[in-house]
Every structure is written in C-alpha cells, then in structure tokens.
Structure 1
Amino acid sequence: MSAKRVLIAVLAIVVVAGVGAAVFWFGPFRDDSSSSEPRTVAEDPATEAANAFASAWEKGNLDGVRYVPGTVDVQGATAVITSGLQASEPNPKVSVSKVEVSAGAGDRAVARATVTWALGPTQRWSYQTSFRLNRRADEWLVAWTPKVVHPDLADGEILKTVRTTGSRGRILALDGSVLVSAPGPVVVGIRKSRAPDLAATATKVAELTGVDLTGLNAKLAAAGPDDFVEVTKMERGAYEQVRDQIRPLPGTVFRSEEAEAAVPDGFAKGVLGSTGPATEEIAKASDGRIRVGEETGLSGIELSQNEALVGTPGMSVVAGSPDGIQRTLKTFPGTNGRDVTVTLDPRIQIAAEGAVAATVKPSALVAIRVSTGDVVAVANGPAGSAAYDRAFLGRYAPGSVFKIASTWALLGQGLQPDDVVDCPVTATVGKTFKNAGGMALGPVPFRTDFAKSCNTAFVGLSGRIDAQQLADAAKTLGYRPLDLGAPMFAASVPVDGDTTEHAAQMIGQGRVEGTVANVAAMSASIAGGTSVQPRLVVDPNAKDTKLGETLPADRIAVMRDLMRAVVTDGTGTALAGVPGDPVHAKTGTAEFGTASPPETHAWITGFQGDIAFAVVVEGGGGGGAVAGPIAADFLTRLAGN
C-alpha cells in the first residue's frame, strides 16, 4: 500500500450503536506529496481493502484485487462499461471517503468513494459511488457489480460521452448584414419503404442521434411507407460527427435547411474562405478543441478566425442501453461561436468581382476606403478560380507600381517634379536595364518620366537614395507585412543587396515582393495623406479606427499630381473616361520567371474619391493595356451602383 494512500491522522471514528454499525469517516487533509483528494486510513482491514480496490482502479489493474467468489471478470467488464467515455486519461481518480462495517459478526462493510474522470481539457466528471466488501476468514473481498462503476447504471448499460458543438459564428459586414452564416441544420428522417429491417435502423438512428427510441417507434408506426418521418433536426456540427455512420443506414433520408445570407453564392470566397470536416492535422493542432470530422474553417478568414467562430465544444455523459435508449447523466455545456465582423462592403465587393470575373488569366483586385483604411473589396478572378485568394496569398514583384515608393523616397531627398531626368534607351548599373518597348524619352521633366513609367530614369536616380531609404519609404506607404486577420503573404523589401539589386528594386524588381493589398495600401496612403493602417477583420475591443501617421503635405500634393498625370498624359489613359471624380493611377509591368524574353505581370493601382485600388493580372503583359481596363470597369460599376 503506497504511503500516498494513507491518511496522516484519523480525524474521526464514530461508533453508531443505534444502527448497529461502525463508521470510519476520514475528512480532507493536506499532503503536499500527493493528491489533495481525501483519503482513509489503512489501519482497519476493511478500509485497507477498499483503498486497495480504489488504487487498482486508478492504475487500471483490477485483476489484482480479491473479489467474492463468482464475480465476473471485473477488469474486462469495467473496460466495456467505460469504453465509450473517450476520456483524456484512461482511468479515473478514485478516493474512498467512508467505510461502514456492520455490527454483530462484522463480516460485511460498505465503502463510499468519489470517482473523477478527466473527459477533456477542462471537463472533470465527479460522482459518488459505493461498493460492498465481505470478510472471508481474515480477508476482506470486494463484491463488485456494474453499479460500482456508476450507481445509476441499469443492466446492460454502458457509459458514453457525446460531444456537442454549438452553432458556428457568422461573418458579418459592418452594417450587420450576413456575408457567411453557419451551414444550416440537417433534418434526419426515415422512410419506411427503404428500410428492410426497420427496427434495426430505428435503433441505430436513435442511438446516433440521442432521441428516445420509444417515441421514434411510435412515429414510425403512425406513418405511411413513403412518408418522411422526421427523427430530429441536428445542427451541422453535430451531424458531421455522425454523418459517416448514419448515412449508410437503410431507410435514412436527409434534408438540409438553407442558411441565411444577404449576398450571392461565392461572395468573396477566396478571402472569406471555406469550412469542412476537420482533418487529423487540424484536430491535432487544436489541442482537443476540434476533433476529426467536425465542421471547421479550412481556408481564409474561416480558418484564421476559427477559434472565435467555432466556440467551445460541450459534452454529455450518457448511459446507453443495448436497444439504443440513452439517458443523460451529466452535461458540460459548450458555447456557440462568436460572429466575426469584416469591413468588406457588399456593393463594392460585387463590383470588384464583376470586373475580374471574365479575365482569361488569373487576376486579383483589392480596394480600400481611404478615409478609414477599411478593406472594402478583395476579389479574385476569373470566376472559376475565385476560391484561391491570390489577392492576399499571391507573392508578386510589383514592377513599376513600386515607383510610387521610389518617388516618395526621392522627393524626400530633394527631387522636384520639374527636375530634368534623362530617360535613355538603356541604363547600366552592374547590368543593363531597358524600358518596355524600347522606349526612350531623352532629357525630360521627372513628371514625364513618372507618367510614362521610364525604367532607365529611375535606375539613373538609384544613387540618390540607399536601399534602407527605399525600404523605409515603402513601409511608410503600406508596402510592409500587414495584419488583417486573414492569411496573407508578408511583403518584403530587402536592404542587403548590392548596387545592381538596389537599382532593380527602384523599379519593383530584384527581390521586392508583396501582395495586391500592399500595392492598394500605397495608393490609399497617397490619397489620404496618412500612412494607412488597413483593416479587414474588426477587433471587437478596438474603440477607434487607426488612421496612421500624417505624411508631409507638400510631398503628398506632388504625388497626387504625378499620379493624375499618369491618367491624363501617361500609361493609364484607360481610366481617363471613368465617370465621377478624377482618377489618379500608376501602371506597372513586372518581370518574373526565367523565360526569355521574361514573362510579365500586369499591374495598375490608384484612387478615385474615397476608394483606392490595385489590380494584377498574372502573366498579363502591360499594365496600362491589360490591368487598366479592369480597373476602369470596376470604377464604372461603382459609379453605376
């Protein structure tokens, strides 16, 4: 007998003559070397035998206990009775608190104990049980029955845990409209004409769903052979747990109820993401909060915000009989998932999706509300590949749209828009750089170099700023890792390259990489005059929108003029006829890959009124000719709504 199972001092020994019994009761005590559970002394042989049984149960070694003759295989029977508990620990903690020995011959005793099961990360199921002991010669033997495992068990019943999940939270727009709701419930039914063995089907369905078998049989008896006999309505999460067991049963039929939503199917699918049954990998990473097969987020915001959306699971402990009837013994309630609010504007999102839906090559568009930094649209095209969020996950060289950052840095070092900057056919800084289409403007004002997107002019200016100044300018404008509450590639502007790489990065090549959202953020910063802090998933605890630091007004004014000239006199004329406020823009062509000649992504970014935007078309070619019309279509759709 371990010393940990022996009480330090006997607190009370009471002889109750009126009932003809001796009661050994031992209250709580402190023993820093062991469990804080109350224990009993081992001086009394009956108590010692009771403690030995408790210890054996805790250790899973019930075969080592002496039982009265004729007792069944206690180890095996206990394993069967508790096999459905799905406990996080294989055996319970068992603490004997009282042993009552009968008067007279003193050959019978009753032990009372507390049994505690660890059923999950926080669920602890404790209950009181008792068991008899009989003395034979000088030895106390345990008289075991299934009621020792739990006193409320009837013949043939076993203990089971039934995990429950609450309703998944919804994804809402700022106005409270529903963008994504939890999948609707599933109505489980039985059609008698399809069930060769109706009794067997009903029994199994009752067991899996937890409904009363007697009531279900009454429903079936009153129904016609082809009626849809409703068994129960299950929340999607609960249904997913038994789906693979219940669907194959002969005669079962199912009806899904539609979930509420205020937007078209597929709305913002890439960024909002999807849900589905949890894989083993997801379940393992959740530390027990999610189990294989349960509904969970698989991508996008559904995945990144899954902890809030899914809530916490609940659990019930039931006594299940062979005929499928279940009685609830204990309930551990869970919590429903919390709604998550995002800044997507349905009107703007639908316009963005319409603009990229028909693109032949993969494309993406991000729009930001300048006054707040709210991301109001994240669209991916064409329509058939919109489920992949290339707007946030695609890692692209920005090409000439990055000249917004280069120009911001150059203006900070004294460059003026009317300064004459040569635009030759080629420029050499460690290697030869050239312009799209072999363009050469010669000595022209810098505003013309910017409007016409002259690469060689920017390469020639690369010595006026260093790599750190360029990276800092990009970071200030929004070309930096962004935390929007959704999966996203982290933008980077390396500063450890040589002069050749620095020259390449002046025109958005080299190792500069980022997302469409980063490019849209740069335009939003210029439009708003602040270092924009984009927001997508709304923090429920945040009081105000963060607008970021105010940027120098003189430089902002110059940048706006330069970007307006791109539309009126440069490479962005596709936007010149868009209705509404004047459009400011910057086009870009970004080389990628190892092909000769290199393949190019088509870019355009800019702003109109309170909306900043960026568009990329993978392998699209020239930004003004390919991405420009998409941006024009987007803005025109907005003007018409």
Structure 2
Amino acid sequence: MKRSVSLLCAVSIAAGTVVACTPKPVSADPTVDSIVQAMESGEAFGEFFDRSAEVDDVFTSTYEGLQAEGIDVEVHDIEQNDSRATANYTITWDLPRDRELTYDTSMVLTKANDEWTGRWQPIMVHPSLGANQHLELRSIPAERASVVSSDGVELMRPGLQYRVIVDMRDVEGVPAFAGRIAAAINDAGGNAPEASDLASEMSEVDGNYSVGLFNEEIGKRLQARFADDPQVRINEEPALVVRDQGFARDLMSRVSNLVSDDVDGVNGWSVAVVNDEGAAFSNVVEHAPDPSPAVRVSIDYDVQRAAEEAVNLRADSQTMMVAIRPSSGEILAVAQTEAADRDGDVALSGQYPPGSVFKIITAAAGVDKQGVDSGTIVPCPGTMDIYGRVVTNYNGFSLGNVPLQDAFASSCNTTFADMSTKLEPGQLADEAKQFGLGIDFEIPG
C-alpha cells in the first residue's frame, strides 16, 4: 500500500515537473509582422520564404506593373498549430489618380527548429495569380466623340493624323536630305515647306525634328514611302478628322482646337493578371470608360454649304458671308472666297458694315420711335439726296410709294436711309443695342 502511494506521488511529482517545464509554443506573429512591414515599405522580403528569389521577383513585378504609389497590409488573424500557420490579411494598393485596389488573401508559414518560414505561393500577392504571373494596371481608352452640326450632321469624327519625324543625329548633307523629305511629302499630296527653309530649320537640331502633321490619306502614303528609312519615322496620333475635306476648312480647324478637350472622355482602367511577356490572362478588376457625348456646334451643314456656294458666285472678289440665327445668336455659317482668304479670317474680323441687314434695326426703330407699322406708306424712289449724299437702290430700281413691308422685302435703300434721318440723335444706336450691337461680348473663336 505504501509503495503504491509512493509510486503515485512520484508519478504525480514527475508529471507536475513535465507540465511546469514545457516551453510555450513559438508564435508565428513576429515573422508575419516582419513580412508585412517589408511589404509596406517596398523592401525585399524573400529572406522570410523558402523560395526568396521568386517572392521578390513577383512582388516587385506587381508593384511596378500596378505603378503603385504605396501598399497597406492589414492582418486579420493568424491560425496556428504546432508547425503550421496561416495569416489572413487584406491588401490595399494605392494606384495613380487616387485609385485603389483592395482584396483579401493569405500566406502559409511552417515551423522547423523553432523558426517560422513562409511557403511561397503566388496567391499571397493575389488569389488569382499563378506561377510566373503578376498584376498590371492597364488603361481602357474611352471612345472619342464626334462633332456634329446643329442639324445633326457629323462634321468631324475620331481618327488619326500622321506626324513626320526625322532623326538628324546621323544626317550627312542636310540640304539634300531636306530636299528628299520635301519632295516625298509633295509627291504624297501634302504641302511641304520649301526645301531651303526646311534645311535651315533641320540644321539647328541635333535629334528628332517634327516636319509636320498630315491627314490619313497622305500619312499612309508617307508610311509606305519611308518604311525602310531608319532616319524617318511616321507617328500616328489621335485627331478629329473632317468628314468632308472641302467643307469649311478654316472653320473646322478653329472648331477642332476649341473642342479638343471635350471629345476625349474619361478612360477606364483594369488590373490584369499577366505573364512575364505581358500577355493578359484575366482581369481581377475592371472599370469601364466614360465616353464623351457628341459635341454639338452651331454650324448648320446645309446653310454652310449654301453660304460657300453663294460667295463663290463672286469668286473674283473678297466676298464673305456670316449667317446667324437671330433668336439665339448662334453662328450657322461662315464663308469667304479664296480672294478674301489672302487677308486672313476677314469674315470674322468685325471690320465690315452689316449692309442691308441693318435695315432690320432701322425698321424696328421706325416702329418703336416713329409709330410706323408694316402697312405704313413710305417712299421708295430709285435715288434720294439725303443732306448732300445721294443714296441709290440696287441697279437704281424704284417702287414709288409703297407699304413698309414691300419696301423691306425689296431692300429699298432710299426708304430706310430716309427713315433714319427722322430719328432723334442716339435713337438708332439705342435700338441697335437691343439687338446686341455696340455691346462688348467675349465669344470663343
């Protein structure tokens, strides 16, 4: 009995000693903390893993591929047993333009000789990654908008323009080289600078020199012409392409400059799983682009064509026309002959009297200030001497005494010249201001 008791005590004491001396399990927390700190600081952390080179390569490739500006890693919990631990965490990447990529994933660690080591798996960077893959930020271009007229005709559409760039670093004999470039542009249907002027500008450059921009038809011809020339490069650039090359060239150029910032829309973006060659397998996130709606301008296609045809009836003169919608002030057409083009954009220079159009204001002043109406009988002789100045109707036509509406419809100069003399000083100018004349406006273009 005593032996039994003694044996029981010995076993109990021995057992108590074992319990008291068993060391506390080594926690994986410090290793996980070190890995997280290295990830957030952008430092290499492959030393904590069994395949260090692969870890650093994939993480670095992802960091650069995402163009990341920072990374935040939030550990939620660490599940640990004797020799294995799983850390669950959320990664948030700070991407350019205030964008973020957030997702949950995990890493596995194993213990040997009281040390924890990460087991490399691509999913620790992202759950969709496989071997030799990383993440990459990609832009999704927004479809560019068209420019449409007020009557719904597409005036300009998204397209390409072609820039001719020459590398001057190894050019010998600049005048001959410039002559060859100018001749090729002219042969393609373009309008090249004079070879001597081109050579003078090229000689000042030791690097790339931009010769000019050309439309798609000419640009493709130049691409074929210089396909095997290492000193000439033809770059494709997005542009608004005029639907009808002969339609209001200068006006369309002005419109293109004014709306260039309104047609691009907002690009979308995605994060793709890609391999080492950059081939994409899938998107882990995708944000669609926000295209810009068509840009409407006040030009009326039919009115513009009619205006161009009208001024070209007097192509030998500096003839011009601007058509405006009176109710809104919108410009419907601007046209001028080539003879007028030599002096620039004279139709929009504001240097010409409005002519018979001003009879609208004179008639309005007569209604407001003199009490006349459309039926009032007014004189319309072929000529009229007004304070020593002889006013003549077109081709000297005469209507005699007729209702105001008839004189107005026939654009009788003498009628309205006479009416203006019966107004008090300043009344005609005041009436004109009611129509927007004599007031300073700020109008683009």
Asked if residue 311 in structure 1 is aligned to residue 269 in structure 2, the reply is no
Moved more, 360-369 or 397-406: 397-406
What's the counterpart of residue 9 of structure 1? none
Identity level (%) = 24
Give 1:100 shift.
1.8
Give 1:313 shift.
1.6
Asked if residue 338 in structure 1 is aligned to residue 296 in structure 2, the reply is no
Q: What are the superposed Cα offsets for residues 2-36 of structure 1, whole Å, 9 maximum, x if unpaired?
A: xxxxxxxxxxxxxxxxxxxxxxxxxxxxxxxxxxx
What's the counterpart of residue 396 of structure 1? 350
Shift of the 448–74 alpha-carbon distance from structure 1 to 2, 3 Å rule, reads same
What's the counterpart of residue 204 of structure 2? none
| Amino acid in structure 1 at the alignment position of 2:257 | S
**What is the aligned counterpart of 2:75 among 86, 96, 100?**
96
CA separation in 2, counterparts of 1:109 and 1:133? 5
2:362–2:428 Cα contact (<8 Å) kept: no
Give 1:162 shift.
2.6
Structure having the higher Rg? 2
Q: What are the superposed Cα offsets for residues 221-259 of structure 1, whole Å, 9 maximum, x if unpaired?
A: xxxxxxxxxxxxxxx9xxxxxx9xxx99x9xxxx9xxx9
| Amino acid in structure 2 at the alignment position of 1:299 | N
| Amino acid in structure 1 at the alignment position of 2:100 | R
CA separation in 2, counterparts of 1:314 and 1:267? 34
Give 1:272 shift.
4.3
Asked if residue 326 in structure 1 is aligned to residue 251 in structure 2, the reply is no
What's the counterpart of residue 245 of structure 2? 265
Shift of the 405–124 alpha-carbon distance from structure 1 to 2, 3 Å rule, reads farther
CA separation in 2, counterparts of 1:54 and 1:362? 76
**What is the aligned counterpart of 2:48 among 67, 71, 81?**
67
Asked if residue 81 in structure 1 is aligned to residue 62 in structure 2, the reply is yes
What's the counterpart of residue 257 of structure 2? 299
| Amino acid in structure 2 at the alignment position of 1:160 | E
Asked if residue 130 in structure 1 is aligned to residue 106 in structure 2, the reply is yes
**What is the aligned counterpart of 2:306 among 333, 337, 351?**
351
Written as runs of structure 1 = structure 2, the 5 A alignment for 1:71-470 is 71-72=52-53, 78-87=59-68, 90-101=69-80, 103-105=81-83, 108-119=84-95, 121=97, 123-134=99-110, 142-143=118-119, 146-173=122-149, 176-183=152-159, 264-273=244-253, 298-300=256-258, 302-303=259-260, 306-307=261-262, 309-323=263-277, 325-330=279-284, 331-356=286-311, 365-370=321-326, 375-379=331-335, 382=338, 394-397=348-351, 451=417, 464=426
Shift of the 313–147 alpha-carbon distance from structure 1 to 2, 3 Å rule, reads same
Asked if residue 54 in structure 1 is aligned to residue 36 in structure 2, the reply is yes
CA separation in 1, counterparts of 2:316 and 2:71? 62
CA separation in 1, counterparts of 2:346 and 2:78? 69
TM-score using structure 1 length: 0.38
Give 1:65 shift.
8.8
Shift of the 153–139 alpha-carbon distance from structure 1 to 2, 3 Å rule, reads same
CA separation in 1, counterparts of 2:93 and 2:275? 21
Shift of the 414–84 alpha-carbon distance from structure 1 to 2, 3 Å rule, reads same
Secondary structure of residue in 2 paired with 1:162: strand
Give 1:338 shift.
2.0
Written as runs of structure 1 = structure 2, the 5 A alignment for 1:10-49 is 46-47=28-29, 49=31
- For this pair of structures, how many residues does the alignment match? 319
| Amino acid in structure 2 at the alignment position of 1:353 | E
CA separation in 2, counterparts of 1:421 and 1:94? 93
2:318–2:340 Cα contact (<8 Å) kept: no
What's the counterpart of residue 481 of structure 1? 441
CA separation in 2, counterparts of 1:128 and 1:327? 20
| Amino acid in structure 2 at the alignment position of 1:97 | H
Secondary structure of residue in 1 paired with 2:70: coil
CA separation in 1, counterparts of 2:387 and 2:138? 73
Give 1:471 shift.
8.6
1:409–1:465 Cα contact (<8 Å) kept: no
Written as runs of structure 1 = structure 2, the 5 A alignment for 1:591-606 is none
What's the counterpart of residue 206 of structure 2? none
TM-score using structure 2 length: 0.51
Structure 2 residues without counterparts, runs of 5 or longer: 1-25, 161-215, 217-222, 231-235, 373-377, 379-383, 390-412
CA separation in 2, counterparts of 1:97 and 1:80? 26
| Amino acid in structure 1 at the alignment position of 2:334 | V
Give 1:350 shift.
0.9
Q: What are the superposed Cα offsets for residues 71-101 of structure 1, whole Å, 9 maximum, x if unpaired?
A: 23866653333323245xx123332223221
Structure holding more strand per residue: 2
Shift of the 130–92 alpha-carbon distance from structure 1 to 2, 3 Å rule, reads same
